[in-house]
Homo-oligomer: A and B are copies of this chain.
Amino acid sequence: MNFTSDNAYGASAEILAALVAANDGTVPSYGGDAITARLTARFCEIFEREVAVFPVVSGTAANALALATLCPPYGAVLCHQESHIALDECAAPEFFTGGGRLVLLPGEGGKIAPGAIEAALPQYRRGIHSSKPSVVSITQASELGMVYRPDEVAALAACAHTNGMTLHMDGARFANALAHLGCSPADLTWRAGVDALSFGATKNGALLAEAVVFFGDARDFEYRRKQAGHLISKMRFLSAQLEAYLKDGSWLKTAARANALAQRLGEGLAGTAGAQLAYPVEANGVFVRLPNATVARLRQRGARFLDWAQPSDGRTLIRLVCSFATPEEDIAKFLEAAR
* B87 near A226: Cβ-Cβ < 8 Å: no
The reply to whether the CB of A234 lies closer than 8 angstroms to some CB of chain B is yes
Q: A56-B229, A223-B132 are in contact. Are A8 and B23 (CB under 8 A)?
A: no
In the complex, the answer to whether B60 meets A226 with C-beta atoms within 8 Å is yes
- In the bound complex, do residue B94 and residue A100 qualify as a contact, i.e. CB atoms below 8 Å apart? yes
* Copies, count: 4
Residue among A74, A203, A223, A229 with most chain B CB within 10 A: A229
In the bound complex, residues from chain B placing their C-beta under 8 Å from that of A4 are 26, 28
Tally A residues with Cβ within 8 Å of B: 77
* Given A91-B100, A232-B57, residue A237 in contact with residue B26 (CB < 8 A): no
Give A residues with C-beta under 8 Å from B: 2, 4-5, 7-11, 16, 19-20, 22-30, 56-65, 68, 72-74, 76, 87-92, 94-96, 98-102, 123, 127-132, 202-203, 207-208, 220, 222-234, 236-238
22 contacting pairs across A/B (C-beta < 8 A):
A10-B236, A11-B23, A19-B19, A57-B232, A58-B231, A63-B229, A68-B73, A74-B95, A74-B224, A74-B227, A89-B227, A90-B129, A90-B223, A90-B227, A91-B101, A92-B227, A96-B229, A128-B222, A131-B223, A131-B227, A132-B223, A228-B229
